[in-house]
Structure 1
Amino acid sequence: MPSDRPIIVVGCPRSGTTMLQLMLHAHPRIAIPPETRFVLAAYRERREFGDLTVADNRRALARRIVDRRETRFCDLGLDAEDIVERIAAAPGTLGSVLGTIFQQYAARFGKPRWGDKRPAYLHNVDLLLRLFPDAQFINIVRDGRDCVASLKEMSWHRKDIYATVASWARAVDDARRAARRLGPAQWHELRYEDLVADPHGKLTELCAYLGEDYDPAMAEPSAVARIAVPSFKTWHARTHSAVTTERVQSWQSRLTAEEIALCEAALGSRLQANGYELSRKVRPAPAELLRYGWTAVPQRFIPARRGLSRAASRLRRDEGLAHLPATVLPQRSAPDRRVDAG
């Protein structure tokens, strides 16, 4: 029987999450929108809106989502007033409020299955599970040296080299914890390098995990890039081209010898555990490792802080968050099935 479980794409920034989003969006049954900014914000601000079993409170939350440009609701191509009314008629949980938006994005393309993509979700798996308990997660892993090299070149990236290296370590560690907790029924991991080398084979395996039939259109994500990647995101320009292996191991020319040494000293065991070989050409200076160590220290306390947060939520009896089947309202207009929509 076809599945309708939410699909959540995660990974370290610049690891191929957008390419994977487009591959999934190219499937005839699946719609994954451009990256939004309202799920985590709505969770943090949920108590501002009171009891969400009250329709007026859901309507107020909906207005917060659709009216604020920083939520990126404007990138979804949906009618804001229609969404507000659908949310007011939805079941009274935060997961249902958010799920209604994604369901309507999928309906825009005449598709039954929806999901979401954002690298930050990798560090908030517990939160996503509270909202969407039956979600299926897909984690894409890329060589940490390539991620660091790519992040360095992003205009929006503000971290120094030490924090950038630490962010990949944190992504790997959080993914490892999530994989142990969820198991193969809810967690699927694939490497960027394997995906671009054999897109048909790896996407066939991914579809088996999702309970879907593989469609060859998934291996040509550039065909839907104009729909699902906002034009202002110029750093995703490569998504408009064919899938290629040309960026694999590009760190060899994009990082300095000192940066490679730092990456391999700090990330060595994690790189090898994920199947990446070390060059071992240069050892970093002790001062470089010390600076990295001071930067990475705060990351080690994050799991403990999350545990305390979960315990606090249980004490507050913070229940009633999970997504529930939505009330069906008639469409205002026919679903947008055009490839050039958007």
Structure 2
Amino acid sequence: MTWNATLKLTAKSAFESCTGLRVTRARGAHPRAEAPGKVEAPGKVAASARPPARPEADRLLSAPVFVLSPPRSGSTLLRVLLNSHSRLHSPHETHFRRITVRFTTEPAAQAMEAAGHNLADVEHLLWDRLLHRELALSGKEFLVEKTPSNVFVWERLATCWPDARFVFLIRHPYAIARSWHEGSPEERPMEEAVRHTHEYMRTLEEARQHLPGHTVRYEELTAGPEAATRALCAHLGIPWEPTMTEYGRHDHGDFTKGIGDWTDKIKSGSVQPGRPLPRPDEVPEALRPMARAWGYLDSPSATGGN
């Protein structure tokens, strides 16, 4: 033991003998933080998605309805038509799938594992609770969610809610791309609009091939909203209501942001047939296979939209 150490020990012993106090080394002002838990990549979380282990306890929503569509396909119009039904609540786009969960410490991850949950399970619980709150506040029976980007997670939606019902909203592919381009011509050149919207269309068609559901054609919806909504109600197993075509009389929340031409039409409660479909020779080569798959190249009598 060095001279300095001996001196410190002697002084410490003398102090304790005289005062009756014990001298100890001070601890750090801040305790050591727990090691963070493992952060999973979104793709890995999605790959781990599975149906609810105990549906009666894990899900509050019953038979939710998801409208899958590309952008600029009339999903806002369809939303307000459905929201005008006394049993259907269709809020503005919730983008709930962008809400993610992470375990910030290893003990949290271990606790969830002990409870039987992985990250995807906890995200599903959160999504279901958020959407159920929207429905509960409306006082209605069934929720209808129509965020266009949901099309990219159609498999996960069907996994999260095994009793979900799906509506596929389609429109002439070139009319979709053209409308997306015209919404912001400088920022969305036509070539980019074709590429961007085609990805939605391609994924939507994949969903149509794998999920049971009902297809609504935008051109038929605008030309005959009563007939189109009657068929949709029959698919959903609920009676059609005249209020659906009187949607201008109802409050549909903040629908005025980001929906372009539909604002005045929704306020007035009028649905007007769209402009004629593009001529076959106008359809870009990249969209021709989709236009053919959806029956548009062979349906020159249908009408298009804005």
Equivalent-residue separation in structure 2 for 1:164 and 1:6 (angstroms): 31
| Structure 2 residue 114 is matched with structure 1 residue 114 | no
Aligned partners of 2:233 and 2:240 also within 8 Å: yes
Q: Which residue of 2 aligns with 1:74?
A: none
**Corresponding residue of 2:293:** 273
Task: Label 1:231 to 1:130 Cα distance change in 2 as closer, same or farther (>3 A).
Answer: same
Contact 1:146 1:249 in 2 (8 A): no
User: Are residues 203 and 97 of structure 1, via their aligned partners in 2, closer, same or farther at CA, if it must alter by over 3 Å?
Assistant: same
* Runs (5+) with no aligned partner, structure 1: 55-60, 62-91, 253-259, 281-342
Report 1:179-258 matches (<5 A): 179-183=208-212, 187-224=213-250, 226-233=251-258, 235=260, 236-237=262-263, 238-249=265-276
Paired positions, count = 229
Per the alignment, do residues 155 and 229 of structure 1 end up closer, same or farther by CA in structure 2, a change over 3 Å counting? farther
Change (3 A) 1:47 1:26: farther
Check the 8 A contact 2:219/2:273 in 1, yes or no.
no
Mapped partners of 1:177, 1:145: distance in 2: 19
Post-superposition offset of 1:41:
1.8
Distance 1:33 1:53, change over 3 A: farther
Whole-angstrom CA distance in 2 between matches of 1:157 and 1:105: 37
Deviation, 1:98, is 1.7
Instruction: Give 1:232's aligned amino acid.
Output: K
Separation in 1, partners of 2:149, 2:180: 15
Work out whether 1:30 is the aligned partner of 2:88. Answer: yes
**TM-score, with structure 2 as normaliser:** 0.65
Confirm or deny that 1:11 pairs with 2:69. yes
Give 1 or 2: higher helix fraction.
1
200, 204, 218: which one aligns with 1:171: 200
Aligned residue for 2:183, secondary structure, equals: coil
TM (norm. structure 1) is 0.58
Give identity over the alignment, percent: 24
Structure 2 unpaired stretches of 5+? 1-60, 113-118, 301-306
* 1:125 aligned residue: 154
User: d(CA) in 2 for partners of 1:251 and 1:180?
Assistant: 26
State whether residues 166 and 214 of structure 2, in contact with CA within 8 Å, keep that contact through their aligned partners in structure 1. Answer: yes
Relative distance call for 1:222 and 1:158 in structure 2 (3 A) is farther
Q: Distance in 2 between matches of 1:16 and 1:52?
A: 45
- In the alignment, what sits opposite 2:189? 160
Q: How far is the alpha carbon of 1:20 from its aligned partner?
A: 0.8
Counterpart contact for 1:11–1:140, Cα < 8 Å? yes
CA–CA separation in structure 2 for the residues paired with 1:52 and 1:160: 49
Q: Which secondary structure state, in structure 1, belongs to the residue aligned with residue 230 of structure 2?
A: helix
Deviation at 1:151, TM superposition (A): 1.1
In the alignment, the residues of structure 2 paired with residue 47 and residue 264 of structure 1 have an alpha-carbon distance, to the nearest angstrom, of 46
SS across alignment from 2:127: helix
1:261 positional shift: 5.3
Shift of residue 163 of structure 1? 2.4
Compute the displacement of 1:278 (Å).
7.6
Of the two, which has the highest radius of gyration? 2
Question: What displacement does 1:15 show?
Answer: 0.3
Q: 1:278-289, aligned counterparts within 5 Å?
A: none
